[in-house]
Amino acid sequence: MVGRANRPPTLTSTPGLPPTASVTFSDDHSLVSAVLPTGESVSVLLHGATVLSWKDASGTEKLWLSTASALDGTKPVRGGIPLVFPFFGPPPPGLSLPQHGFARSARWEFLGKSTSESAGGVGVVDLSAKLDFGLSSAGLDAATREAWPFAFNLIYTVTLDRGSLTTSLVVSNDDEARPFDCQVLMHTYLRVADIAQTEITGLDGASYVDKVDGAATKTQSAAVTIAGETDRVYTPMASGAQVAVVEGGKKTFSVARDNLANVVVWNPWADKAKGMADFEPKDGYKNMLCVEPGAVSGWQTLEPGDAFEGAQTITYYS
């Protein structure tokens, strides 16, 4: 556990060797942070295993986080990278659980940390820090276990590299006899300078479900632009195709998916943002764009002993 006695507070470098990443914990052990020697950083809240912050070497924040987000575990975080499991959106009929499931609301366990360095060429060192988090059925409260009575295990890994952030989730069915169906999504809130000057490429020709237009099925033509409330579930034509965020004609992010067939694009726009108590500032929709890799257009059926793994890698461009 994070709070056990004598746990070293940081990873430090060995005298005579190149510096490595440092990993630290907040005083109340609710937050784990990693910082590379070159200055890049990431912070993960154990509540929901939610990535709250991801900064480049200059300290520029890459994720959007509402200033009204609850960080004390009382409700899911609005912003960063919340995790969606075991379903996306409202619960299926007869299932008494909150929207988007329980993963983003549960307290996760910090499982460990590791750092690495490798030669990336003459005078270049590639650095990374990996943080592992876990959640199992045994860690849920009684009401949640009663509502979703399957034995499962989740391993979530957040890997910070000099120019990218990778998040991966492994879902295992630990039930001895019963299969279960699930959905997975990484609800990434990217920070952008001006949503009116932002577009998403890589989805041209993809079919999508437009949740703002009665769940109508449509086909994307050209780049995606945001000019009002947007809530779409895309299925790109190529499962491994990269999606890019372009601001003012310049690519600022790319999002690569591994075994995640869908990309959700979301922005609440002005009217919906006003009605969301935890969305602040109210004009924050101008500076955020959700590009969310997931497996949500259908269900992943896991037989006893089976596992599902999906990942995203977000790369930023200066």
In this predicted structure, the answer to whether residue 15 has a pLDDT above a threshold of 70 is: no
Mean pLDDT of 20-44: 95
**Rounded distance, CA 209 to CA 231, Å?**
8
Q: Annotate 127-157 with three-state secondary structure.
A: EEEEEEEEEEHHHCCHHHHHHCCCCEEEEEE
99 labelled binding-site residue: yes
> Could you confirm whether 292 is annotated as catalytic?
yes
Instruction: Assess whether pLDDT exceeds 50 at residue 55.
Output: yes
pLDDT in tens, 73-94: 999 999 999 999 999 999 999 8
- Residue 93 has a CB neighbour count (10 Å cut-off) of 5
User: What backbone phi and psi angles, to 5 degrees, belong to 146?
Assistant: -70, -40
Consult the annotation and say whether 104 binds a ligand.
Answer: yes
CA distances (Å), origin 213, targets 195, 210, 216, 230: 21, 5, 6, 9
Q: Which residues contact 53 (CB under 8 A, 6 or more apart)?
A: 41, 42, 43, 61, 63, 65, 80
Closest alpha carbon to 225 in 258, 257, 192: 192
| The predicted structure's pLDDT at residue 125 | 57
Task: Please name the residues in contact with 218: beta carbons below 8 A apart, sequence gap of 6 or more.
Answer: 207, 208, 209, 210
Asked if residues 6 and 23 have their Cβ atoms less than 8 Å apart, the reply is no
Provide the mean pLDDT of the chain. 92
Q: Which residues pair with 310 in a beta bridge?
A: 169
Residues 257-294: tens digit of each pLDDT:
999 999 999 999 999 999 999 999 999 999 999 999 99
What's the pLDDT tens digit per position in 196-250?
Answer: 999 999 999 999 999 999 999 999 999 999 999 999 999 998 777 789 999 999 9
Whether the predicted pLDDT of 123 surpasses 50: no
Catalytic residue (one of 40, 47, 100, 292): 292
Amino acid at 46: L
The CATH number assigned to the domain with range 22-190+260-316 reads: 2.70.98.10
* Lowest pLDDT segment from 7-11, 154-158, 313-317: 7-11
* Residue 118 pLDDT: 55
Active-site position among 187, 199, 229, 309? 187
Q: Known catalytic residue: 229?
A: no
Per-residue confidence band for 1, with pLDDT thresholds at 50, 70 and 90 = very low
- Across the chain, how many H-helices and E-strands are there? 2, 21
Q: Which pLDDT score is estimated for 115?
A: 75
Is 78 annotated in a binding site? The answer is yes
If you average pLDDT over residues 24-45, what whole number do you get?
96
Task: Compute the distance between CA of residue 11 and CA of residue 108 in angstroms, rounded to an integer.
Answer: 21
pLDDT exceeds 50 at position 167: yes
